[in-house]
Structure 1
Amino acid sequence: MPKARRSNDWGFPRWRSYDSSRETTTVRLCDRHLCEEPGDCPAPKAPNSPDRWMFCQKHAAEYNKGWDYFEGLDKAEKAARTKSEQTENAGYAEASHFGWAGSGDGSRSADEMRALDVLELEADADFAAIKKAYRVKAKAVHPDVKPGDAEAAEEFQKLQVSYEVLKAAEERREWKG
């Protein structure tokens, strides 16, 4: 009579792997044409629809870039909704370092985004582009170029403040990183 073999499933550590099956796992690819990355970020195909696109992180960010959460609300409703969202999500600000890295993906503050709007730049602009845009716009409205023009002086001040906000943010990023 053959001797009984002992199982490898006794005690700790478990000697056999937990997922001992050898069949292939299915990986859903990004729904963006010609993208070979795994599609693990769902995005709605239409408002109030259960159907979803499955994008990679890059294409999900691109898809959501133009999304206006407050579309159709008047100014008062928009302000109230913004305030409630900020108070409800205050805990997430502490853990912002767990988010995706890089500019243009939520790593810029609201002040930085307003400053980029003043300089007419995209959210993913690097500091060299910010510096260039500031210099071009500041030259056009500088008080030495347009003396006595109150509008130009005000625009120059806006540009200066915007540049200072973006410069301070860049310095913080360099200091952290």
Structure 2
Amino acid sequence: MARAGRRNDWGFPRWGGYGAERQAQQVRMCDRHGCDQPGDCPAPKSPNSRERWYFCQAHAAEYNKGWDYFQGLDEEERTRREREEQATASGFAGGAFYGWGRPGDGTRTRDEMRALEILELEADADFEMVRKSWRRLAKEYHPDVKPDDKDAAMRFQAIQAAYDVLKVAEERRTGKMG
């Protein structure tokens, strides 16, 4: 007695084989006229409506580009709601860049740590030490001091960029601009 074919029931006669369904998957297409991409990004048809459009990612971005959350509110109501949103979303503010996963001592970003390496400083250096190291290295590698040295010119540009990164970070930390 010959077998008709190989069975895929894994020894469980009452079960069908895993992944044996041959039915087509239902895919919702993008609601944008003429688009043939899957519509997997829901967007409200109007404010406070349960009805949704389903767009592809490109058309969802286009749809949301002009979205104004505070549309139709006067200036006072707009500022009040914005303040409330910021107050209740304070947990997300710390995660602007993953505060728990920062390199070094936990207070600097990866870019700041690279900048400190370029300025030959440790991770716990304060901004005064940054400024002193920047001045020392800038004087050493300045193109006027070494006019025909391409490596010195590249090093000087890296020193300047590192100082700019750390200066912006310090301004952001202290709240002082300019």
Give the structure with higher Rg (CA): 2
TM-score, reference length from structure 1:
0.41
Q: TM-score, normalised by structure 2?
A: 0.41
